[in-house]
Amino acid sequence: MTYEPVIGLEVHAQLLTRSKIFCGCSTTFGASPNSHTCPVCLGMPGVLPVLNRSVVEYSLRMALATHCRIAPYSQFARKNYFYPDLPKGYQISQYELPLARDGWVEIRTEAGIKKIRIHRIHMEEDAGKLVHDEYQPVSYVDFNRTGVPLIEIVSEPDIASPEEAATYLRTLREILRYLEICDGNMEEGSLRCDANISLRPTGAKFLGVKTELKNMNSFKNVQKALEFEIRRQSALLERGEPVVQETRLWDANRNITVSMRGKEEAHDYRYFPDPDLVPIEIDADWIQTVRSSLPELPDAKRNRFMDQYGLSSSDADVLTSSRSLADYFEAVVRAFPQPKTAANWIMSELMRELKKDDCEVEDCPVSPDNLVELLSLLDSGTVSGKMAKGVFEEMYATGKTASTIVAEKGLKQVKDAGTIESLVEEVLSENTVEVTQYRAGKEKLMGFFVGQVMKKSKGKANPQMVNEILRKKLRG
Amino acid sequence: MSEKITREEVRHVATLARLELMEAEESRMTRHLNQVLAYMEKLNELDTSDVPATTHAIELKNVFRPDEVIPSLDRAKALNNAPQSDGASFVVPKVI
């Protein structure tokens, strides 16, 4: 029998607020342990959490960008469980009355555009971080992350393959980054993903028993964990054995999922409304204000890039993969209105250098204006294409402008016919044998002559002119 | 008095709360919790069909603070109540 997977993702995104969700402690990543804590986030008795307004605004941005219905009335709840990373013994989250429900995003698959429905988006606080001692039976608890704001984005089980899961996750990440509410860094944990997956006979309508997968901290691991789980579950079903509903951890070293064996089995969180936090009411005005502040989103931008600049869909994909890269491209095209040339330079030269340094376009040493200057020098024939690439590398390495580098290195292309003629004549008189052969019909020697002339000019002669003059002289 | 809460449920709740109960305590808690619930039953005598469900007694809503960082607690103070610490972290029995 063949089986098809049914997958739903729960995605946690850390919001880029300056302070925590319920207190004024800093959210900066990487501070020394427990230096960003206070009585509120340490869960000391008698303290009162107060909601950070920006958390609501950021969450609303994501909810609106994913076409969710905003709840006019929502409420925080306590999720009770004991774990040392949770100082209060409960996590403040939302349960019955989440901020938003019933949205969707479109993902692009090989079979075309597919809609993945979003079940709900809610706000909650992050937990602390545990470091386990390798030699002693102790763990170290750092509460800096406790109370950092999160949104949890829960999809409907609309995802039909591991590839779709990865694409959906990338799509969410792109939107979060466009909205500037989350940096989307999976390695640092500012974007995290759990997956629910079950199998059913292909085409069936019912749902099989699902497992929940955790601990997948990269796009690749999400895909690999789901692929493994499909193999594991189908092997069980083939043998007529039941799939056990449980939480499983992805072990990236061994490439398998491992049962958490009942540790968190009893999902008995005894949620109840948090009496310390008053309800949130969001009216149409507030929604409208947030909606009108939304930036152009990835899909809209991609389509506009294709329409307005005549870019292919794959080029538009690359250039809209981040908002800052798209902005960079548009800044270049505004001053140098040849979109295809600009796109090619950005996607090949610029992105190669950025990738080499693991650098974001925001920190690129070559500003859009500087790239415009280089492209203009190229366009006017002041520098050749080959030289321009060298100049670009130099610009990237030193931060100097194109014209400075061209002047310093004497890189200006030689376009003076007299100068090129004398170079050509030198080459012909030094290679009389080849000249005779060429004139006898061995025309592929043309490349040899061009090469010799370019070498004499140190690469600066205009190649078209070299070709023309050579042909003329060789015709004799 | 009909039993609202069984001894089994008391054990379950105790486990969730990480409490270890002696057998006598289990019996006593079962009895007490049933008494509490019986008292709460009284509330069901009220007709609340016209009263919307509510989570707060006071009509406050939308209480926010601005997104501003204020100084955190001095770390030594934060760790003051820790059962054990290494001067930087809370140290607890190993959990995985």
Q: In a structure prediction context, what are the per-residue pLDDT tens digits for chain A, which is 476 residues long?
A: 889 999 999 999 999 999 999 999 999 998 999 999 999 999 999 999 999 999 999 999 999 999 999 999 999 999 998 888 999 999 999 999 999 999 999 998 888 899 999 999 999 999 999 999 889 999 999 999 999 999 999 999 999 999 999 999 999 999 999 999 999 999 889 999 999 999 999 988 888 999 999 989 889 999 999 999 999 999 999 999 999 888 899 998 899 999 886 544 456 888 999 999 999 999 999 999 999 999 999 999 999 999 999 999 999 999 998 899 999 999 999 999 999 999 999 999 999 989 888 888 888 889 999 999 899 888 877 778 888 888 899 899 988 888 888 877 776 777 778 888 888 888 998 998 998 999 888 888 888 888 888 888 777 788 888 888 888 888 86
Instruction: Please give the CATH architecture assigned to the domain spanning A417-475.
Output: Orthogonal Bundle (1.10)
Contact between A355 and A315 under an 8 Å Cβ cutoff? The reply is no
The values of phi and psi at residue A19, to 5°, are -115, 170
Inter-chain touch A270–B16, beta carbons under 8 Å: yes
A265 in reach of chain B (CB within 8 A): no
* Nearest in space to A155 (alpha carbons), one of A111, A208, A187, A114: A114
Q: What is the dihedral of CA A378, A383, A386, A388, to 10 degrees?
A: -60
Burial A22-33 (b: 16+ CB within 10 A, else e): bbbbbbeeeeeb
DSSP state of B42: G
Q: Are A316 and A330 in contact (CB under 8 A)?
A: no
Q: Rounded to 5 degrees, what angle do the CA atoms A283, A288, A292 make?
A: 160
Residue B16 lies in a domain: yes
Closest CA to A425 of A356, A465, A473: A473
Give the pLDDT confidence score for residue A264 in this predicted structure. Answer: 47
Question: Which segments of A53-180 are extended strands (E)?
Answer: 69-70, 73-74, 77-80, 90-93, 100-109, 112-125, 129-132, 138-142, 149-155
For A322, residues 6+ apart whose C-beta sits below 8 A from its C-beta are A174, A177, A178, A360, A361
Provide the pLDDT confidence category of residue B2 given band limits of 50, 70 and 90.
low
Q: Decide if B91 and A138 are in contact by the 8 Å CB cutoff.
A: yes
Q: Is 60 exceeded by the pLDDT of residue B1?
A: no
Q: What is the pLDDT of residue A265?
A: 47
Distance, in Å, from the CA atom of A361 to the CA atom of A327, rounded to the nearest integer, reads: 10
What is the rounded CA–CA span in Å between residue B75 and residue B14?
A: 34
Give kind and range of the element (H or E) at residue A192: strand A191-201
Tell me, yes or no, whether B19 lies in a domain. Answer: yes
- In the prediction, which pLDDT does A262 show? 58
Nearest CB partner across the interface for B67, out of A18, A136, A280: A18
Tokens found for residue A409: 């290195």
CATH (domain of B24): 1.10.20
Q: CA A453 to CA A456: how far, in whole Å?
A: 5
Q: Is residue B24 part of a domain?
A: yes
* Residue B91 resides in a domain: no
- Per-residue model confidence (pLDDT) at position A418: 83
Contacts of B74 in chain A (CB under 8 A): none
CATH 1.10.10.410 domain residues, chain A: 417-475
Tell me the shortest Cα–Cα distance from B32 to chain A, in angstroms: 20
Produce one character per residue of A375-389: b if its CB has 16 or more CB atoms within 10 Å, e if not: bebbeeebbbeebbb
Q: Who contacts A377 (Cβ-Cβ below 8 Å, separation ≥6)?
A: A383, A388, A391, A402, A403, A406
Task: Look at residue B18 and tell me if it is in a domain.
Answer: yes
Amino acid at the residue A415? K
Which one of A34, A73, A140 makes the best mutation probe of the B interface by having the most chain B beta carbons within 10 Å? Answer: A34
Contacts of A231 (CB under 8 A, 6+ apart): none
Query: Is residue B96 predicted with pLDDT exceeding 80?
Result: no
ipTM above 0.90, yes or no: no
Chain center to CA of A375: 28
Question: What's the domain count of chain B?
Answer: 1
Give the pTM.
0.82
Q: How far apart are CA A291 and CA A199, in angstroms?
A: 39
For residue A201, what is the enclosing H or E element?
A: strand A191-201
CB contact under 8 A, B92 and A138: yes
CA-based nearest residue in chain B for residue A269: B16
Separation in Å, CA of B59 to nearest CA in chain A:
9
- The whole-chain average pLDDT of chain B stands at 89
Asked whether residue B96 is domain-assigned, the answer is no
Q: Which is nearest to A459 in space by CA: A451, A469, A468, A449? A: A451
A 7-26 residues inside an 8 A Cβ radius of B: 17-19, 24-26
- Using an 8 Å Cβ cutoff, are A61 and A153 in contact? no
CB contact under 8 A, B68 and A281: no
First to last CA, chain A: 79
Q: Any idea what DSSP says for residue A166?
A: H
Model pLDDT for residues B56-69, shown as the tens digit of each residue: 888 899 999 999 99
User: A83: Cβ–Cβ under 8 A, 6 or more apart, which residues?
Assistant: A127, B95
Q: Tell which residue, A205, A192, A159, A148, has the closest CA to residue A29.
A: A148
The residue behind tokens 């030699």 is A135
CA atoms lying within 13 Å on the CB side of residue A385: 5
pLDDT tens-digit profile of A385-428?
Answer: 888 888 899 899 988 888 888 877 776 777 778 888 888 888 99
**Half-sphere exposure of A143 toward its Cβ, with a 13 Å CA cutoff?**
29
Quick: pLDDT tens for A164-175.
999 999 999 999
pLDDT of amino acid A408: 79
DSSP letters along A202-268, please?
Answer: TT-SS----EEEE---SHHHHHHHHHHHHHHHHHHHHTTPPPP--EEEEETTTTEEEE-TTTTT---
Structural domain of residue B11, as residue ranges? 7-44
**What residues does A213 pair with on adjacent strands?**
A195, A248
Structure confidence at residue A267 (pLDDT): 63
